Structure 1
Amino acid sequence: MAYRQGTGLVPRWSTSLHTLARRLEDHGVEVTWDDNFPGFHRFYASDKLGNRLEFLERRTNP
């Protein structure tokens, strides 16, 4: 099964990635962290239609 890769969106907020993940979890969204991208914090979540969404932020302290 092939997956189409979409384009990324740049958020217009100044919240940290960890704060965003916590807000999603507070609203019942499952968050899966992935530390296998050197230099970035990254997590995945799914929308109500089952699309996997990727969120990432450059680490300030690599």
Structure 2
Amino acid sequence: MEKLIQIRVEEDVRNAADDVFKENGLTTQQAVKMFLTQVAHSGKSPFDDLFRAKNQK
């Protein structure tokens, strides 16, 4: 079963991200799905080091 995720993002941020993904042959939706799938499969987030550093202070 698929779930719908909705987020609010500033228009300029969304447009800039759309441009980057488009240059790489992706839509923003595809990129977000890839991100979530990678996190689910690996059990790791690209933000893990940021979280650890903040929690260790």
TM-score, normalised via structure 2 length: 0.30
Q: TM-score, normalised by structure 1?
A: 0.29
More strand by share: 1
Give the number of the structure with larger relative contact order, counting CA–CA contacts within 8 Å between residues 6 or more apart: 1
Q: Which has the higher helix share?
A: 2
Is the radius of gyration larger for structure 1 or structure 2? 2
